[in-house]
Structures are given as structure tokens and as C-alpha cells.
Structure 1
Amino acid sequence: VMEIVTKYDIDGIQFDDHFGLPAEFGYDDFTVKLYEKELPGLSPSDNYQETFWVRWRADKINNFMERVSEEIKSIKPDCIISVSPNPFHFALPAYLQDWFTWEREELIDEIVLQVYRSDMKRFINELERTEVKLAKNNIPFAIGILTGLKNNSTPITIIEEQIEAVRKRNFAGVSFFFYESLWKWGKESENIRNEALEKIFQGKISRPHISSSKKEGKLLRS
């Protein structure tokens, strides 16, 4: 990370849903000994999803994220730190990724939430979650939409409907996963998908502005 920040003229850097550890991890000798040192008389739960065991490990990753954020900003204060995680109710128990704390602690500048759902009810439910609304009111918050996989295409009508749902709720924008499936691999022709996308995005839209400065030891954003 620091090599990229120091050697290249970048606007920002993004961490995805794998910037964490699978919840099954943490039973190595080093981690177990650290846990037992910090909590005398206790050992990690055999259940990798036990609440306190998840929280303890997630906090270690939170501490690491704090170090990464501080290092980046110390070298390049205007570098955008973006995260593209899974929904919080999955990210934390499955990957120990506590992105909501990162947002609350002002360690990140932008979120692009991966809401890869084909069912509209489930899609909208993710947009309406409390942690999403809170983060959205504080920093630019965009929604990642699944445009299809090679053997499982997403109809352009579903993509259109999901974009409309995102816009209706005033999110910062959308991001598509992934590039080729925007117009390829669908049941519709490439021309039909292209025409639909051109209709959706008729004009240029500026990226949400993010400015940062250090004041009283905290990162302020406007």
C-alpha cells in the first residue's frame, strides 16, 4: 500500500471485501498466545463465530486499518481511502471486517457497498439498513451492482431497476461488477444493453468531492 502511495501519482486507493480475514482464521499459535496474554485465564472459543472472539479479532483488524489510514494520510493527505465491502451483517461475522467502525472512526473517505442481489426486495433491504443510512449521511456512499457473471447474466431490466432504486435514495452513485458483463453475456444483444446504458447515463456526472484536513488530531471531511 505505502509503495503505491509514495511512488505513484494516485487519487486514491480502494480495499475490497477481502481486506479482513475469514472468520475461521485465528487459531494459529501467535494469535492464541496473544489472546491469552491479553485476557489471562481465557482461551479463544472453539466456535469461530462466538461473539466476543469475533469482536476481539475484528478489533485487531480495526487497529491495523487505523495504522494504514494514518500512514496514507501522513504521506498524501488528499489520497481517497475507499472501501468496497460486503453488507455489514455478513462482512463482520464472515470476514471480521468491521467497516462501520472504520467509517465512524473516520478512517475511510468513501464506501462502495457490494449489493449483489438479483431479488429486488433483498436489494432494497440492504439499502435501507441502519448502518448504511448512518454512513451515507457522513461520507460518499455508492452501491455496487452485479451486472452478471459469465454463466449467470443479469437482465438489463433488473440493472435499470436497481439503478433507479439507488438514485431514488440519493446515494453517491453506482459501481458495476463487472466490466465485461455490462454488455456481454446477457440474454439481450450487446446493442440493446448499450442503448439502455446510454439512456440511463445521458450526461457526465462529477465524482463526489472529498476534501480532508487534520484538525485536533481528527480527520475532517466536507
Structure 2
Amino acid sequence: MKLCLISRNWRQLHRVQRFRGRELKRLFPFFVLISFVTALLFNSLTPTIAQLPRPEIRGVWMTNNDFDTLKNRAKVQDGMTQLRRLNFNTIYPVVWNSGYVMYPSAVAKRAGIQPFVLRGSDGHDIVADLITQAHRQGLLAIPWFEFGFMAPPTSELALNHPDWLTQKRDGGETSISAAGEVVWLNPFHPKVQQFITELVLEIITQYDVDGIQFDDHMSLPHEFGYDKYTVALYAQETKNSPPTNPQDPAWVKWRADKITAFMVQLNQAVKARKPQAIFSVSPNYYDFAYKFQLQDWLTWVRQNIVDELIVQVYRPNLQNFVATISRPEIQEVQQMIPTGIGVMAGLRNSPVPMQQIHSQVRAARERGLGVTFFYYESLWNSAPEPVTQRQAGFQTLFSAPALRARATVE
């Protein structure tokens, strides 16, 4: 009986399978079409999906102009509390400015730079206190290596190490920047590279930081590079003298590539010391950065040495601002790493109204970009509107939290 049932069931199963086989063959072209359409839709959505897990950058730079706040523990605590309440998630405190560090540094001391450390009102370490207070509020603290290769000509760094400086073709050693008259450390010189690397490793080792940031001064104005060391190095590698035109494309590329090679080494050194450290870069827009500052940051991103990009776009005109943040290289980078725009919140002698800030932040966020403001005091303490009105304005900008989780130390 069981054998008959098994035989009958087997025949029925065989007929069902043959029927299903014919149906599958008939429907096969339909399945192929569905698969093709699904693949197209998936590929078109992939960039957007890739960005979803990345918390939006909502940061602020903390400069020397913020010293009255930074030296006071109570003000720092209040400031970090306010930033968290207004749904910020990152601070970028300056630690390298005007040829001096803002913390006790054995590296600076070895370079003959007398201790010039900004101490708090009770003699405390400002950098340590700031990082501690930020972390208590769930904010990331990424020290800002503001001056990069730039230094005042009267700084001890420049006076003690004249062989570390580069120069223009006419022998001039200075240029005019937003910080006034400055000289430039030679980014191609091994001793300069060693000094910068040691400073960076010192700050990420000495403090519980979440990363390190380099801005548009981790570069070199295109007029420079005609010092004896660089001329000899160029001749050794190319068998030619540097072109007289500082914007000669090959000459620009050679110097930019050298800076890129150093940044690769610097990234490797940072990651070897603290693998989870965020290697952040905040340059000018690419066309200007490369042609005039030899800063090929797009290549840095493509070579995977940048973990976060914040492009400085200080434009009062909204149309110019939007045009700059819509450039293709920014669209490319934001598919790969967290990307933000540097927005001007105001200067001492040039306050920025909240309406301008609102329109620029809105434009950036509509394009999937985060924002970082320059600088802390101008957010609301030194602003054209009252403090409460400014803070209310930022509250409407960031109505919900966007916390950036601290990476686990390996």
C-alpha cells in the first residue's frame, strides 16, 4: 500500500515539476527584465544609501579670538553645554598658531621655541580642559593645526631655523595672508617634515583627541619653492632648473605631488599611533587650492588619506556660495567621506547676520553637506543679534541631534 501511494505521489510530483518547468521557461524573460530593472535602481540609489549612516558634521572652530572663553573653566563648560543643547557635534580647537603651540610641548622646546602656552585662569591646561568638557557633552574634539607650514617672520621658529624657510624667485621670503605678513616653512625639507610630524604625533598622543585637522595653510603659495634646497632637489629629479613661471603646470604639479607624498606619510604616522583618529582637512575650493596653494586635496581623498573634508566657503553672496558648494569635486568627495562646508559666522569687525547664516546652512544641508562655523565667539557672543535670538536661530537650524560616536581605540 505504501509503495502504491509512493508511486502515485511520485507521478503527481513529476507532473507538477514538468508544469512548473514549462511555467518557469515561459516567465524567464520576465524575470530577466525584473532583475535588470532592479539592478539599475540599486546602482542609481547606491550613492545616497552610502551617505545615510554618516552623521552630519555640525562643528565650530575655536580660535585665539575665543581665548576669553577658553581660559575660563566655567565658560568652557557652559559653552560645551550650549553647543550640545543646540545639536552641534564637533569642536575644532586651535593648537598650532603663529609658530607656537597652545600646550606644553617637548617638540617645540627641542626646536628652540620658548614655552608659549596659553594657560587657563587658574593655570590649568586649556586644551586638556576643553577636550574633557567636550567629551562630557558627547562632542568630538578634533584639534586644529591652523598655521600648517606658515609662521610669522618674527617668530622664534623662523628666526632659529632660517634654513627651514622657502623663498620666491626674487629671494623674498614673506607673503601677505589673513594673519598678516608670514614666512613659509619648506614643505619639501626633511627637517621641516620631521618637525611637523613630531608636533602632530605629540598632540594626538598627549591628549584624548578624536583626530587632527589641517587647513588651507598645510600648503605653499605657488610663488614659493625657489630656495636652494628645493632648486637642487628639482634639478636632481628632473635634470632641469625650476621654470621661471611659478604657475608652470609641470612645476606646480611637481611641488603639489611632493606635498601629497608628505601628507601620505603624515597620515600613516598618525594612523600608526592612533588608528581611529580622524584625519580631517579643511582647504579652500579645489581649483584655487591646487593652482595657487599647491594643495591637491582631491588626490588626498582619492588616495584614502582623508577621513573628513570641510571646504572653506566664506562668501557673503548666496549665489556665489551655492555655485562653489555645488562643484563636481565636492559632489565626488561626499560620496566617499563625511563632507562639510566652512561657513562664516562673523569676524570681530565684520559681523554676519543670522539671515545669511540660515540661507547658507540651508543651501549646504539641501545638498547633503554638513557645516562648520568660523568661529565660536561669533556664533552668539559677538554677533549683531542678541545672544538669545542667535541661539534660537541655531536651534531652528539643527532641530534634532546628530551625534557622532567616538571611535573605539584599538
Say whether 1:114 aligns with 2:312: yes
Candidates 170, 175, 183, aligned match of 2:368: 170
Q: Which has the higher helix share?
A: 2
CA distance in structure 2 between the aligned counterparts of 1:2 and 1:206, rounded to whole angstroms: 26
Per-residue CA distance 1:12-62 (angstroms, 9 max, x = gap): 11111101112111000110011111111x211112122111111010000
Aligned residue in 1 for 2:225: 26
CA distance in structure 2 between the aligned counterparts of 1:109 and 1:145, rounded to whole angstroms: 20
1:145 deviation in Å?
0.3
Per-residue CA distance 1:127-178 (angstroms, 9 max, x = gap): 111111111110000111001111111111010011111111111x210001
Say whether 1:52 aligns with 2:258: no
1:4 deviation in Å?
1.9
1:125 deviation in Å?
0.9
CA contact 1:109–1:210 (8 Å) conserved in 2 = no
Aligned residue in 2 for 1:2: 201
1:75 deviation in Å?
1.9
Matches within 5 A, 1:78-157: 78-157=276-355
1:96 deviation in Å?
1.0
Aligned with 2:385: secondary structure? coil
In the alignment of these two chains, the number of paired residues is 210
Aligned with 1:30: secondary structure? helix
Aligned residue in 1 for 2:380: 183
CA contact 1:13–1:80 (8 Å) conserved in 2 = yes
Aligned with 1:174: secondary structure? strand
TM-score normalised by structure 2 residue count: 0.49
CA contact 2:313–2:321 (8 Å) conserved in 1 = yes
CA distance in structure 2 between the aligned counterparts of 1:210 and 1:174, rounded to whole angstroms: 21
1:193 deviation in Å?
1.7
Say whether 1:62 aligns with 2:260: yes
CA distance in structure 2 between the aligned counterparts of 1:188 and 1:3, rounded to whole angstroms: 40
Question: What amino acid maps onto 1:57 in structure 2?
Answer: R
CA distance in structure 2 between the aligned counterparts of 1:126 and 1:209, rounded to whole angstroms: 31
CA contact 2:210–2:406 (8 Å) conserved in 1 = no
Aligned residue in 2 for 1:198: 395
CA distance in structure 1 between the aligned counterparts of 2:354 and 2:261, rounded to whole angstroms: 41
CA distance in structure 2 between the aligned counterparts of 1:208 and 1:36, rounded to whole angstroms: 48
CA distance in structure 2 between the aligned counterparts of 1:16 and 1:114, rounded to whole angstroms: 9
CA distance in structure 2 between the aligned counterparts of 1:27 and 1:146, rounded to whole angstroms: 34
1:93 deviation in Å?
1.8
CA distance in structure 2 between the aligned counterparts of 1:203 and 1:132, rounded to whole angstroms: 25
Counting aligned pairs with the same residue, the percent is: 44
Bigger radius of gyration, 1 or 2? Answer: 2
Aligned residue in 2 for 1:74: 272
Between 1:194-203 and 1:53-62, the stretch displaced more is 194-203
CA contact 1:140–1:208 (8 Å) conserved in 2 = no
Say whether 1:12 aligns with 2:204: no
Aligned with 1:161: secondary structure? helix
CA contact 1:166–1:174 (8 Å) conserved in 2 = yes
Query: Where in structure 1 do 4 or more consecutive aligned residues deviate above 6 Å?
Result: 208-211
Candidates 35, 58, 82, aligned match of 2:234: 35
CA distance in structure 2 between the aligned counterparts of 1:53 and 1:209, rounded to whole angstroms: 41
CA distance in structure 2 between the aligned counterparts of 1:161 and 1:209, rounded to whole angstroms: 30
TM-score normalised by structure 1 residue count: 0.89
CA distance in structure 1 between the aligned counterparts of 2:266 and 2:342, rounded to whole angstroms: 24
1:210 deviation in Å?
7.4
Aligned with 2:341: secondary structure? strand
Question: What amino acid maps onto 1:44 in structure 2?
Answer: P
Question: What amino acid maps onto 1:199 in structure 2?
Answer: T
Unaligned runs of 5+ in 2: 1-199
